[in-house]
Amino acid sequence: MMSAHSIDLFDTVIHGGTVATASDTALCDVGIRNGKIAALGQDLRGRQMLDASDRLVLPGGIDAHCHLDQPRAQGLASGGALMADDFHSGSLSAAFGGNTTIIPFAVQHRGQSLVAAVADYHQRANARAFIDYGFHLIVSDPRPEVLSDELPMLIARGHASVKVYMTYEAMRLSDRQILDVLDCNRRAGALTMIHAENYECISWLTDRLEAEGKLAPKFHEDSRPMAIEREATHRAITLSEVAQAEMLIVHVSGREAIEEIRRARARGIRIYAETCPQYLFLSTADLDQPDFRGAMCMCSPPPREPVNQTHVWQGIEDGLFDIFSSDHAPYRFDPSGKLMYGPKVSFRRVANGIPGLETRGPLLFSEGVMTGRIDLNRFVALNSTNSAKLYGLHPRKGTIAVGSDADIAIWDPARRVTITNDMLHHNVDYTPYEGREICGWPVTVISRGEVVVHEGELLGRAGHGHFVERYRPAKGAASWN
Ligand code: URP
Ligand code: ZN
Ligand code: ZN
């Protein structure tokens, strides 16, 4: 006969830490069995005991916006450059940054079958990831058969989110096409994510700046000023209203776009919003560095004038932002990436995007929680839970609850770290945050009960990470608001 003690022996117990979810904080042990959280309580016993005294035990981070292993092509954000990270290096870097799930993109190029594009990304990720992953779909060619067959079928197979672009020559959709995708997504149960920048204005301003010989990376911001993001944000919200379909505005960069979202929410429109570390920690000054080094901080929308950072922080603090993602878009500062056309070329030809999978959570923890701007529970919501909820992973992921996957990051809140590119695990040769001193770091990362990272050491294996299906309820138009 088994004793009560042996019945309660867990595979792993995280002992003595402060457990925090998006709503609660408690001093308790976490018992893990078969990759799931099996108990929360006192004095739990496990075959493996992990001491978390003086540590925070948090849901693993979910980086819900990152780009990995996207093939080269012209007319995209990449401008034909090579992405430095694939699912191996990207997921490794994410894990070292306290993440247990990532949601990169599967991109459909014009003329391509969406189903074939998604199958290709599943191949790229297969057996290479250290942590779990899903895919947002990017639709650049919503032909009738894509809308009637391919998109609903892929959503039904666990891809519950779809990004559309209002800019980039090869990706942008017309307003009418965006309405079609919104309508399809609502019926099939997917959230529409939108990149809101006005293509025509960017193209007109870029031509003008180039004619004036204004080619340096710092002119990237002049080519896509806040007004063109504000206009596109307003238009995107209008399209969402017209289609009566929920929408999430990704990578919101500053005040004027934030004001549009606040106004929409005040009208009762269900608009979700994401921002990223670059809009809290970088500014136009970072685009204006000698030796073309401003290119390292070129992303779209661009980092803004510093005053915008205050507005983005305000949105982080007061709940305007639901999601905090890295928008990791990895290009090396060498001829494979940012310098593909050399260091004298127009900003137009420089790959857009910056790395950030490993630094996203620690930056927010240090500058958000340790400064008192947000509390620990809000941090958990932004770092993990809200992405799980909005993108159809909750309650399997994004929380610490009995029955959830044991996806956990144990943080040392007192650990002082100076960020350098040498300590990071991505395949990019720089970080925009080089030399920044922060406080707090995820020291142990556990994915479905397996320790992936412990005290700077990799214990996990490529292939442990699985594709996770994500589902959201399909909605009739009547359920709008
Ligand atoms: O500059 C950026 N953000 N590059 C990645 C592509 C995108 O639009 O998110
Ligand atoms: Zn985008
Ligand atoms: Zn992106």
Residue pLDDT, tens place only, 181-236 = 999 999 999 999 999 999 999 999 999 999 999 999 999 999 999 999 999 999 99
pLDDT at 376: 98
Taking CA atoms only, the protein residue closest to ligand 1 atom 4 is 353
Rounded to whole angstroms, the Cα distance separating 116 from 150 reads: 10
pLDDT at 72: 82
Q: Convert the pLDDT of each residue in 255-265 to its tens digit.
A: 999 999 999 99
Quick one: pLDDT band at residue 481, thresholds 50, 70, 90?
Answer: low
Ligand 1 contact, 353 CB (< 6 A): yes
Mean local confidence (pLDDT), 415-442:
98
pLDDT at 297: 98
Q: Convert the pLDDT of each residue in 334-343 to its tens digit.
A: 999 999 999 9
- The answer to whether 132 and 398 are in contact (CB under 8 A) is no
Tell me the whole-structure pTM to 2 decimals: 0.97
Residue 4 clears pLDDT 50, i.e. is over it: no
pLDDT at 477: 58
- Distance, CA 37 to ligand 2 centroid (Å)? 35
pLDDT at 479: 57
**Residue of 194, 197, 329 whose CA lies nearest to 272:** 194
End-to-end C-alpha distance for the chain, whole angstroms: 57
Please check whether residue 333 lies inside any domain of the structure: yes
pLDDT at 2: 39
Rounded to whole angstroms, the Cα distance separating 70 from 85 reads: 9
Please check whether residue 472 lies inside any domain of the structure: no
Please check whether residue 328 lies inside any domain of the structure: yes
Q: Convert the pLDDT of each residue in 36-82 to its tens digit.
A: 999 999 999 999 999 999 999 999 999 999 999 998 877 787 888 99
Most ligand 1 atoms within 8 A of CB, residue of 279, 299, 325, 357 to mutate: 299
Both tokens of 401, joined, read 């609850």
pLDDT at 79: 82
* Element holding 48 (H helix, E strand): strand 45-51
DSSP summary character for residue 409 = E
Mean local confidence (pLDDT), 263-270:
95
Both tokens of 438, joined, read 């922060």
Mean local confidence (pLDDT), 415-433:
98
DSSP bridge partners of 236 = none
- The answer to whether 251 and 301 are in contact (CB under 8 A) is yes
Please check whether residue 50 lies inside any domain of the structure: no
DSSP 169-232: TTTB--HHHHHHHHHHHHHHT-EEEEE---HHHHHHHHHHHHHTT--STTHHHHHS-HHHHHHH
Quick one: pLDDT band at residue 333, thresholds 50, 70, 90?
Answer: very high
Please check whether residue 211 lies inside any domain of the structure: yes
Phi, psi dihedral angles at 383 (to 5 degrees): -80, -20
Mean predicted lDDT score pLDDT of the chain: 96
Q: Convert the pLDDT of each residue in 459-476 to its tens digit.
A: 999 999 999 999 998 876
Three-state secondary structure along 95-144?
HHCCEEEEEEEEECCCCCCHHHHHHHHHHHHCCCCCCEECCEEECCCCCH
Helix (H, G, I), strand (E, B) or coil at 327: coil
Q: What share of the chain is helix, strand, coil (3-state, %, to 5)?
A: 35, 25, 45
Helices (H) and strands (E) in the chain, counts: 16, 20
Ligand 1 contact, 196 CB (< 6 A): no
Please check whether residue 54 lies inside any domain of the structure: no
Atom of ligand 1 nearest to the CA of 65: 9
Q: Convert the pLDDT of each residue in 73-115 to its tens digit.
A: 777 878 889 999 999 999 999 999 999 999 999 999 999 999 9
Please check whether residue 228 lies inside any domain of the structure: yes
With pLDDT > 70 as the criterion, what percentage of the chain qualifies?
Answer: 97
Mean local confidence (pLDDT), 300-326:
98
pLDDT at 447: 99
- What is the number of other CB atoms lying within 10 angstroms of the CB of residue 208? 12
Rounded to whole angstroms, the Cα distance separating 361 from 314 reads: 18
Residue 456 clears pLDDT 60, i.e. is over it: yes
Number of domains in the chain: 1
Phi, psi dihedral angles at 227 (to 5 degrees): -60, -35
pLDDT at 367: 98
Quick one: pLDDT band at residue 3, thresholds 50, 70, 90?
Answer: very low
- Assign residue 245 the CATH number of its domain: 3.20.20.140
**Residue of 238, 239, 250 whose CA lies nearest to 275:** 250
pLDDT at 76: 81
Most ligand 1 atoms within 8 A of CB, residue of 194, 352, 428 to mutate: 352
98 is in which domain, residue-wise? Answer: 61-377
Mean local confidence (pLDDT), 260-276:
97
pLDDT at 476: 66
Most ligand 1 atoms within 8 A of CB, residue of 107, 300, 331, 350 to mutate: 300
Please check whether residue 432 lies inside any domain of the structure: no
